[in-house]
Every structure is written in C-alpha cells, then in structure tokens.
Structure 1
C-alpha cells in the first residue's frame, strides 16, 4: 500500500484551514501550524459571496455557513449627506447566482473550519518556516521550533507579509500600501433603524451590514498615511472625528460602539502580480499570493477558492495557471473601486457620484457575474439567465 501524502499548512486563517480540509478530502495527511497562541477569538463581520459559498459546499460546510449567516435585503449606496445614489434588492443576486452574499462573524467561519479537522491536526503557538522548497525529486522541508520535518506539499497561508513568499520570490516587491487604512467593529443592538449598504464621501467610505443576534457589522476606510493610529489610541474617537458629521445614523452608531472594540489595519495590495503561486513543492495561498483591497469583499472568498482548486489540481504549475489570472483580475477590480473611493476634490466627487448614480441603472447582476459566477473544479455550472437578473445557478459537487 502506498504511503499517504504528507502536507504541511503554515497559517490557520480562513485560507489555511480551508486548504487543510480540502486536502484531507483528497486523501492527504495534513498538519497545520499557526504562530499565534489561539485561533481568531475576536473579529468583525465577513461577507461570503456566492462564489465562495460554492467552494464551501465542496468542503461540506455550505449549509452550516448559510444557517449561521444573515441574508442581506434591500441596500444601496449613499452620499455622505444621506442622499441615495443607488438602491437595490440584494435578493435578486440570490435568484441569479443561487446564493446571497451571506454575512457572519469571522470567528464563526474560522471555528466551523477548525472543527472539521481531526484532533491533533492544528497546532497553535507553533511558528513554521520553509527551509527547503523541495523539487520533483525531493520533498520540501519545514522548521517548527527546534524540529524539522519534510512534506510532499507545503501550503503557505502566512498572510500579507508572507515570509514564504519573500523566500520563493526574493526579487519581487511584495504588497504595497494601498493608501487606505480601514476600521472594523460590531455594534450590539443598534439604537436606531439602519439603512444597509455603503456611504461614500471624500476619500472615505463606511458600510453597514447586519449580523446574527441583532448585531451590526460597521466598517470604514479612508485615505491616510501608512502607520498612523489615533493619537490617544482611541480608534472609536478617531472614527467619530472622521465620520461624526456624516448622515444619520452613523454618528449614533459610532457613539454606541464599545470603547476598545474597533480594529484598525492599514490596507496592502499586490500591485505587481507574482510570476507564479508556487515554487518547488510550496504553494502560496490567500493574502500571501494575492493581497487585495477590501472594496470587492473578496479577500477571504478568493482564499477559499484557492484552497479548493489546490486540492483538486494535479500539480502546482496547474494551480498557478488556474488561480493567477482569476485572482489578479479580482485584485485589479478592487483597486479600481478603491481609486473611485479615494477621490477627494469636491468637483471630482460630484462627478464620481453622478457616475455611480448612472451605473446604478445598469444591469448590476451582469456586472457582478465575473466575481460571483465561478464554479469549483469538477462542479458542472448550470446556466443562469443573467440578462433577466434571475435564475438558479447553485452548483454542488
């Protein structure tokens, strides 16, 4: 009997855990190493788009995620003054693509993925690094603390500042600061009615999305120098300073945020694509391969896609060939949206908002299709009548 193939996953975020689960489905023995002392115990909301939901169906988690998530209803896009630019019924997207954009707390998805792995698969407080990427003739080698092991495959899901990516492609510049910093928080029991969707202003935006349990995911992004933080460390006060004069209910919601519960991160993106998503026996996955801005809500979704494609692809060159064009397109789409958000001159903002209002009259279902109408390998797509904005297209393995 042939020995089972051995895989090591570096990083236990959504991408790494998805890869571990997908590889086990294909008969691999998998060990996951995470440098943090625990899995994400805190976090805010996460949008799971129809493309990622199909990948989660392959992993056997789709229905659990649907049950844990909130479906979005009517939403849209407003100016900072409160004037609506675009309004849409998001149920139409579910009719077209077979699933809504479902929103749930990020730690819930992390927990669902981790719970599907056998005991002992995941080790925390265990930083790992690749010492030899391997080749067709020899396995890769990975150092964990004072020990070293070999693997037929290493999945590097070690994040935006991936040490594995830097070792595989030392001459590549890596991710670049996008010009944006972003905030995320959760409002418990919002004190007022909430119009869902995004609000755009001069070089900034905010978004409001429902979460289970009468909670609200509030996110924001603004043009800012890299490395800045609130002068006194109070990011809630910083949000009020930046957005406190925007339309209701933003000031009321920000006031209701618990002090110390605002996450702030500078946003980096892979402006120059990597030449490949692999080297030797090492595959790069998620932010390590294609860090992107959040303006299409696809960062975690693309990592989940990566995981399913990697596990179902015969070799790493094929994995790169399939994933690099797809993920690069999503990175570029998100960057283009970011450029529109970044506009600050008053006249340019007026022109941008006019363009957004006009774009709202276009077939939004067709515009979303390049992102949402994706199917995992081996899953036969079913055509959806996108011209009419309806039709079922949920595909399951």
Structure 2
C-alpha cells in the first residue's frame, strides 16, 4: 500500500461517524480509525426515519448499500407524492383527522441496529474500528514548526493514539466540542469568550420524550384494522403533548414516540423526577437524562386522548423517558484540523425526524472535501472551513424548523387548525424538495479554487 495522504480519526461510531467512514472508502489513500466509546457498534434504541433528501445521499454510497438498506426496511423507495404522516387532533373523546402530510418520496424507516449492521458491513480494509475507547482529551499542535504534526488523542482508559485529522462524531455531550470551543475561545475578549464557552454543554429544550416498542401482534389482536397498520406514520396531537406511531422491523414492532413540551422551561437545568428509576442506565452516557417508565407513567400525558390512541397505549408494557437536550448554535464547527458532525455539531429537536439525515449529509460532504485530490494535509483546515461554511447555516435552519414543528403539533402557536396542514408542510418540504447536490458542487468548486475567499 502506498503512503496515505493523511490519517483521519473519527470519534463516535453512530450514524454520522460510520457513514463518514463508509463515504471515505472511495478514497483509498486515506486511512481511517473509528473510536467508539461503547463495547459494541450496534446501537440499541428504537426506530428512526430518513427523508428523501438524505436517502438520496445514501444512494451515492453504492447500489449494494442501497439494496441492503431496502431489505432492512421492507419496502421500496418511491419518488411519487405519498401520504407520509396522518395528523389527528386527539386530545378529546372523539378525534378529528386534521390532514395527511404529503411528501414527494417516502420516509425510509429503520431500526438502529439494522442500519448500523449495513454500515459496518461496508467498512473498507483501510478503516480500523476500536471499541471501548471514550475520548478524554486531544492536543492539536499550532506553532509554526509543528502545524502539520499529529494530533494526539488521549482516552479514558489511559491509552493514546495519533491522527492528522480529528472528526468529532461523539454525540450531544461531545468531548471534541468541549476542547474545540476552548481552543476557539483562546484570546477572545471576556464577553465573546463566555459566549463561545457557553456552547460546550447541551441545554434542556423543555421537551420530554416517551419512547417504547410494542409487538405489532399485540395491537392486531385488539384492533386488526387500526390506523397504524395502514402505512406511514400516525401522529396524535394534543395541547402541549403528542405522540406518533409507525411499524418498524418489517412490521414486527410498532415504534411509539411521545412528547411533552414545557415552553417555560426551555434553557433551564433539567431536574430528574426522583420517582422514576434509572437503574438500567447507570454508568451509561446521558444517564441523568433518561429514566425507566411503567406502563402507567408512559400513558399519563396522553390519558385523555381519543380511543384510537388509547388502543395503542394499552399495549405499552414499559418505556423510557428522555429529557431532550440540544446544542446551541455554534460559532464554528471546525478549528485547525478538527471538525464536528452530527449531534456533536447541531443536536436538534426530533420534530422533523431530521437529526439522522443531517448527520448523513454532514458525513458525505465532509468526505467529499477531505477526499478530493486537491486536499492535502496542509490544506485540511481550508477543507474543513468549506464544510463549516456550507453545512452550519443549513443545519441551524433545520434546527429552527424542527423546533417550530413541535410547537405547531403541540398547539403552542397562533396558527388556526384549518391552516395547520399548509403551515407544517411549508416548514418541512425542504426534506423532500431540496437536495445536497448544490452544496456538494459548491464544495468541490471551493476546494479546487483556493483563490476564492471562504471567510
């Protein structure tokens, strides 16, 4: 093997980190190491969806990759307009069908473990994976004599490693973000410095999520013609609370995700309810934000919803509670030869199902600028600045749209019911009417022409 042009370390083996590793496989002159804090790369958790914009990016990873994904979700991808989400006003004895969200192309839904399995099976020989490697800190040299010297990574188990480029895909509590914000803040005036440092820690959104899976057969016995078996997602809306349900794992399970929104608590410190046990999550990331729910506790916020909703909720055996935190809009997602992607860069509210898709887009554009033949170790900082220039404004806008969508679904705006469908559609249609291709073309142009100012 010829000498690689540089070595990339990816901290975090979630959707974004592994997608980046697979996307970099197009460039055999780049050596990749993926460091995952957990003992296994197979993420636990419920389902998630990918909208047409992001799925078109996944298609670029090759026909075999796409085919394996389609096999996991059990249905074909279409580019026709389809009813994607049924929206019902459900906080009353007899619910009302408000509207069907029509999307150009369908949302592809996966179980996290299934999706991870496909990504892992496509990692190239030039990529090495490492488990149980939680980053403690990194050191990036900056003096004139060592500007291209390796970045040193130190892990919590005491081991170290080096790389030329570090990508923080290490989630909402990102260690990479912690140290990058401190690097950015160096030499700033006190007010500006404090503003940058305030971006280190996640902030509570005032949103609490309720998550569970139920066996589809359990619901089918109770109600064989339930709405949820009709395809797509059904969303049951109420004042300050709502939940959605849809089949996953080839129809074996129904994924249920509920939310309560407390607008007066946005930005405050989350205080865990002492009545909710956390035994299953002790020692795990974000454990103070997560709890175990009994069936009764899970149902409580939605107990006065319509019968169609209650049929689903009666099948719940247990669930988990999550205090949903977000990351403030960052002043930058790159510094030197270090960059952030996914939740580390822009953890957002889940109300447009866009978080995973934005991680995928981050990963593909990042691989495009780093893998380009014009990018060398000396020009990596410019390549990462191009990534930041093209991605940060877009993901910031998506985060705002996601927050608004939650407020609309929880009836926390002044939008009348008869206008709700049109408002939600206009706010969301970026996910199926736009593409990443324009940004990719602009990225290549900026990489190839170093005379263009990107500041």
Q: Distance in 2 between matches of 1:41 and 1:169?
A: 28
Matches within 5 A, 1:212-251: 212-223=250-261, 226-229=270-273, 231-233=275-277, 234-251=293-310
TM-score in terms of structure 1 length: 0.83
| Matched-pair contact (CA < 8 Å) for 2:352–2:428 | no
1:310 corresponds to = 366
Moved more, 213-222 or 64-73: 64-73
**Whole-Å separation in 1 of the counterparts to 2:352 and 2:424:** 17
1:127 aligned residue (109, 134, 153) = 134
Residue number in structure 1 paired with 2:327: 270
- d(CA) in 1 for partners of 2:327 and 2:33? 28
| Rounded Cα–Cα distance in structure 2 between residues aligned with 1:116 and 1:4 | 22
- Quote the Cα distance in structure 2 between the aligned partners of 1:294 and 1:116: 27
Deviations 1:94-121, CA, capped at 9 Å, x for gaps? 2xxxxx1111112111111112124772
- Alignment of 1:178 onto 2:242: no
Instruction: Assess, with a 3 A threshold, how the Cα gap between structure 1 residues 42 and 306 changes in structure 2: closer, same or farther.
Output: same
- How far is 1:310 from its partner? 0.4
Alignment length, in residue pairs? Answer: 363
Q: Which residue is equivalent to 2:177? A: 165
1:207 aligned to 244, 247, 262, which one?
244
CA root-mean-square deviation: 2.6
1:388 aligned residue:
none
1:185–1:217 Cα contact (<8 Å) kept: yes
Query: Using the alignment, how far apart are the partners of 2:209 and 2:48 within structure 1?
Result: 14
Query: Deviations for 1:316-373, whole angstroms, at most 9, x for unmatched residues?
Result: 11111111111111011112223334556xxx7xx54x24x32425794x65442331
Q: Which runs of 5+ in 2 are unaligned?
A: 76-81, 183-195, 278-292, 370-374, 376-382, 442-455
Work out whether residues 237 and 410 of structure 2, in 8 Å CA contact, stay in contact via their aligned partners in 1.
no
Alpha-carbon distance in structure 2 between the residues aligned to 1:18 and 1:42: 17
TM-score (norm 2): 0.73
Residues 286-305 of structure 1: matches in 2 within 5 Å? Answer: 286-305=342-361
Shift of 1:53: 0.6
Please state whether the residue corresponding to 2:23 is helix, strand or coil: helix
Q: Which moved more, 1:45-54 or 1:141-150?
A: 141-150
Change (3 A) 1:33 1:50: same
The structure with the larger Rg is: 2
Instruction: Flag the 1:3–1:70 CA change in 2: closer, same or farther, 3 A.
Output: closer
- State the Cα distance separating 1:240 from its structure 2 match: 1.4
Cα distance in structure 2, aligned partners of 1:33 and 1:301? 21
Q: Which runs of 5+ in 1 are unaligned?
A: 95-99, 381-397
SS in 2 for 1:321: helix
Match of 2:73 in 1: 69
The 1-side partners of 2:345 and 2:358 are apart by: 10
- C-alpha distance in 1, partners of 2:175/2:21? 20
Q: Which residue of 2 aligns with 1:395?
A: none
Whichever structure has more helix as a proportion of its residues is 2
Q: Contact 1:230 / 1:238 at 8 angstroms: preserved in 2?
A: no
Residue in 1 aligned with 2:387? 319
What is the alpha-carbon distance in structure 2 between the residues aligned to residue 26 and residue 218 of structure 1? 40
How far did residue 24 of structure 1 move?
A: 2.5
